[in-house]
A and B are shown apart, each in its own frame.
Chain A
């Protein structure tokens, strides 16, 4: 599949502070790519370098086949983390102006602005000034302004921050629509649920360094699976199963205890159940817990911090 964004070993330093430290990534056409990391990890700086708003100290960037994103700016839509619009302009005026900066003619830009506002329920606000809109509506207008020129690549920096749950759902739907239309989307976030629901692949960075790149399933595979078994029997025989790494009791209610097993992903659940039957362990309740992306995120970031802390 064609690679539309490739970043190779970029470094960026502000004075004594290292913002990006040898980051690399590749995003294929049509992917929804999550750019994840804690606050201060270097996501925004990396995005600015990607967009050629900043220059890297070292390393190279290739966007839509060119070295400078500015030369293909008309094919890119960008939503920055810190948002704002011209407060005295109308919603339609702002979208039209920004679309014109992306290369559209005045008439076409206005037509698309109206169509987008109508499609996402803001037709009545089209002629109202931004300062007269609610914060949520203004944020919607800003998201729409990144779409008006029908870009091939969308780069959204923390697009969900500040949105209420309803608007978060609307934005998720927008992203799904874009994916369905074959667009490539890169978005940064530190809210893992959005990434888990939307991303084909993710890149996790911390302290400016790449600590994981792959699919959400690949990320989850980094953590053990958890099995919870409620029983009044002795579970000691189960701890000897090949993939089981650790067993501990979570709670006790009379004779009944709840046990948690940490196991490698190679563990066969059928084999586990069969072992219970074989060792006459009565199963009152059984649950298998997949690790969430949030768990992966926390684990990997802490591990990276520990390494960084040791190193520092």
Chain B
């Protein structure tokens, strides 16, 4: 035991004092940021057309909302087209300053914010992007590639055959449930609805920055966006922005010519997002969004952490082998003691790095002083405190660590140089690199068949279970997954100990598979 603790403390102290550890401390908070951004980016990239239905009890909003959403998309297309024409315009339609705006149609020659509603409507009425592209062709070079125009991701339609207003206002969650649960399929309602917007009869604009404008007002006096689960962020942003524009415009028209027009410019829509599946149709908040994304982000973070720590473990082992000090070590302690000590020490390094990174993560937010960022950090902390995520994160981190540590330690024991480290670890590194992609792909349906199957697979289990942490997977699945991983760890460490004993004194080229089998049998 003394030998194990000595090796572990040496491994810990020497690694923590190394430059690579210090560099990792700087890189990890950055990678955490990237980890949080990846799910959002994928969500943004992969979102297909979503249909949102409107029940307009106030009157006059539904059609305007649909038109505004369409215009919003029209401006996005025209903006992309404007940049495209600027880049690929023929030389005779250029001036020293760029595009010759006198000779190119106005609708193509201006950025999105300079395009009026009338022009956007003309664009839509004429046929949208195909029409505009044909309009642009005479001004383009022959070698201009096909443009990448943003697809329409949101469509607003009236809710077909809506329940009576009294029913809707009395219990909107129950009334709208058939349209939203399981995409409306189960009740034979409009399938594929991403949300239903309920606009109450007496809704009015509110001041920017007010509680209602921030989505925390009284739902009965706010525009209610109902969905089954959290709203995708890009959709929520589009709906909120469009509704804000409508309410501000109404306020401006109502106050035209009066002193109140200044205040009217600061009017926003009172919008509240609500989850049809939550008890009582609880309002969706930033915390809901974070709660949805956080497990996925933490799962990705786990992979990053493990990769960094595995690389350090492997490099340290390679150094001990290549500088031959390992032979002195195993004349004092058994190879098994050395291996366990190194695993223990490097796991302490990993925990230290993890702790530092979490502190740095929130420290950076605090120093930043940005209220939104601090609010974000506070929400994350609140979620972590109020759920089992932290103990689960620790559990899955430890499982993930020991799943890979034995493999990397043994590979390091065969390596003589950094090149060997890279070559030997490449298959495992590629496997690890695949993990975040798989986890993100399947975590959107956290209790679906694919996610559940992956939870029971060796190596995938800790990461998949982490990504499912907020979906309340059954306890039996947690225990089953942990049991599978523990058995895998025991088998791997048993094999690693047998191979490590031979590997550290092995000379020449890395062994072939048959040799590895021989080592596993205890032969040298």
Contact = CB atoms under 8 A, between A and B. Distances in A.
B6 interface: yes
B327 A98 contact: no
Contact of B325 (A48, A69, A86): A86
Interface in B283-318: none
Contacts of B334: 70
B328 interface: yes
B516 to A, nearest CB: 14
Contacts of A100: 6
Nearest to A13: B524
B332 interface: yes
A73 B14 contact: no
Nearest to B333: A101
A100 B4 CA distance: 12
B324 interface: yes
A98 B328 contact: yes
Given A82-B324, A84-B324, A87-B323, A76 B331 contact: yes
A80 B323 CA distance: 11
Interface of B: 3, 6-7, 10, 14, 17-18, 319-320, 322-325, 327-334, 505, 524
Contacts of B331: 51, 53, 69-70, 73, 76, 78, 80
B323 A86 contact: yes
Interface string A141-183: 0000110000000000000000000000000000000000000
Interface in A64-96: 69-70, 73, 76, 78-80, 82-89
Contacts of A48: 327, 505
Given A48-B327, A98-B332, 4 more contacts: A53-B505, A80-B327, A82-B327, A85-B325
B328 A80 contact: yes
A97 interface: yes
Contacts of B320: 86
Contacts of B323: 84-87
Contacts of A80: 324, 327-328, 331
Interface string A2-36: 00000000000010000000000000000000000
B328 A53 contact: no
Given A14-B524, A53-B505, A54-B524, A101 B325 contact: no
A102 B524 contact: no
A145 B328 contact: yes
Nearest to A53: B330
B315 to A, nearest CB: 12
A235 to B, nearest CB: 55
Nearest to A19: B524
B34 to A, nearest CB: 30
Interface residues of A, number: 28
Contacts, number: 62
A86 to B, nearest CB: 6
Nearest to A99: B332
Contact of A102 (B10, B324, B327, B332): B332
A86 B14 contact: yes
Instruction: List the 5 closest A-B pairs by CB distance, nearest first.
Output: A84-B323, A82-B324, A80-B327, A101-B332, A78-B331
Contacts of A79: 328
Interface string A176-202: 000000000000000000000000000
B324 A70 contact: no
A100 B333 CA distance: 11
B114 to A, nearest CB: 61
B327 A54 contact: no
A121 to B, nearest CB: 23
Contacts of B327: 48, 53, 78, 80, 82
A145 B331 CA distance: 13
Contacts of A82: 324, 327
Given A53-B327, A83-B324, A100-B6, A88 B14 contact: yes
A12 to B, nearest CB: 8
A241 to B, nearest CB: 54
15 contacts: A14-B524, A53-B505, A54-B505, A73-B332, A78-B328, A79-B328, A84-B322, A84-B324, A85-B325, A86-B323, A87-B323, A89-B14, A97-B10, A98-B328, A101-B7
Contacts of B325: 84-86
Contacts of A70: 331-334
Interface string A112-145: 0000000000000000000000000000000001
A14 B325 CA distance: 23
A79 to B, nearest CB: 8
Contacts of A84: 322-325
A54 B501 CA distance: 9
A76 B329 CA distance: 12
A246 to B, nearest CB: 45
A98 B327 CA distance: 12
Contacts of A98: 328, 332
Contacts of B328: 78-80, 98, 145-146
A202 B402 CA distance: 48
A69 B215 CA distance: 74
B452 to A, nearest CB: 46
Q: Which of B14, B325, B330, B505 has the most CB of A within 10 A?
A: B325
A79 B327 CA distance: 9
A70 B337 CA distance: 12
Contacts of A86: 14, 319-320, 323, 325
Nearest to B316: A86
Contacts of B18: 88
A5 B60 CA distance: 101
A73 B333 contact: yes
A89 B329 CA distance: 15
Nearest to A102: B332
B17 to A, nearest CB: 8
Nearest to A14: B524
A84 B334 CA distance: 19
A85 B325 CA distance: 6
A135 to B, nearest CB: 13
Contacts of B7: 101
Contacts of B3: 101
Nearest to A48: B505
Contacts of A88: 14, 17-18
A73 B319 CA distance: 23
A121 B7 CA distance: 29
A79 B6 CA distance: 20
A242 B10 CA distance: 69
Contacts of B17: 88
A145 B330 CA distance: 15
Nearest to A77: B331
A48 B327 CA distance: 9
Contacts of A145: 328
A228 B14 CA distance: 64
Given A70-B333, A70-B334, A73-B333, A101 B6 contact: yes
A70 B501 CA distance: 14
Q: Which of A54, A98, A101, A146 has the most CB of B within 10 A?
A: A101
Q: Which of B10, B17, B331, B524 has the most CB of A within 10 A?
A: B331
Q: Which of B3, B327, B329, B333 has the most CB of A within 10 A?
A: B327
